[in-house]
Amino acid sequence: MFSRIKARFNDMSTIKTLCEAAEAYALQDQQREPGAEHFLLAALDLPDGTARLTFERIRVDPEALEPAIARQYGNALAAIGLDVGAAASAGHAPLAARPVPFNASASGQEIMQQLAAERKAHGPLLGAHVVATIASMQHGVAARALRAMGVDAGMLKAAAEEIAKGS
């Protein structure tokens, strides 16, 4: 009984850390509501280290994720014939945080709902669980950034699940 309460408390603490970091990445990225890409970056910062380990397991440098995300916007505009240079990417001053309740974008909400739905199926919430959830998404900035990095989403998901099971 006590261990279950403790596990739940730890999960809440992890979710709080994850959401705060995702929001910080979103503000840095000039967006108010964190999306899947911001949750993925936030997962890499979680102290359990399993998200980072997942990328390393499939021989992908996790540090390459943030620049890959930043490039997605310019690449998407170039695909329709618009060349706006660096204006489409990051590099602007971050937005200021507002004293309003946390709110994620649609893709961010999808991740939180998925993590909540699968909570009982695994032990403590880990960064690898977040990676596995995001690796399942076929569309959006996170999925496109991973593809641009040459990441096989199926392999990433499998590695994340294996690492999460072993932790």
Partner 1 sequence: MVDLNALHLPDDPDEALAAVVALRRLADTLERRAVRSALGQGWSWARIAQALGVSKQAAHKRLSDIAEKSAQEIS
What does the binding site for partner 1 look like in residue numbers (CB under 8 A)?
30-31, 72-74, 76-77, 79-82, 84, 87-88, 92-93, 95-96, 98, 139, 141, 144
Burial 21-45 (b: 16+ CB within 10 A, else e): bbbbbbbbbebebbbbbbbbbbbbb
| Distance (Å, whole) CA 7 – CA 102 | 23
The nearer residue to partner 1, 36 or 115, going by C-beta atoms, is 36
Task: Tell me how crowded residue 78 is: count the other CB atoms within 10 A of its CB.
Answer: 13
The least CB distance from residue 81 to partner 1, in Å, is 4
For the CB of residue 72, give the shortest distance to partner 1 in the complex, in Å.
7
Q: How far is Cα 136 from Cα 35, in angstroms, rounded to an integer?
A: 15
Give the nearest distance from C-beta 58 to partner 1 in angstroms.
Answer: 22
Instruction: Give the residue with the Cβ less far from partner 1, 54 or 105.
Output: 105
- Closest to partner 1 by CB, 124 vs 140, is 140
101 token code pair: 């309740």
Closest separation in Å from C-beta 113 to partner 1: 21
Output 5 or 80, the one with its CB closest to partner 1.
80
Length of the chain: 167
